[in-house]
Amino acid sequence: MNKSIKSILMIVGVVLIGYGIYTIVVPETILSIGSLDVKAKDTNNNSYIMTGLGLAALLFSIIGSRKS
């Protein structure tokens, strides 16, 4: 595997993992107006998918560097 492709996969993997963890950790959106509280519930499916893709990209970059 080309060295530049391995580097790109490594960077993309780290970014995707960081973004996925950030969206999992960030609290829900809450709007407070006086005594009225509105909460927006969001499923974390997209966060888990981003984290999984990031892990896959990191694994491919590591496996590609071992084969060379």
Token pair of 65 as six digits:
């560097």
Nearest partner of 44 among 19, 24, 22, 15, judged by Cα: 24
| Model-wide pTM > 0.85 | no
**What's the start-to-end Cα distance of the chain, in Å?**
7
Residue 50, burial from CB neighbour count under 10 angstroms (0-12, 13-18, 19+): buried
Q: What residue ranges do the domains of the chain occupy?
A: 3-67
Give 53: exposed, middle or buried? Use CB within 10 Å, 0-12, 13-18, 19+.
middle
Residues 13-65 have pLDDT tens digits of 999 999 888 888 876 667 778 777 777 666 678 888 999 999 999 999 888 86
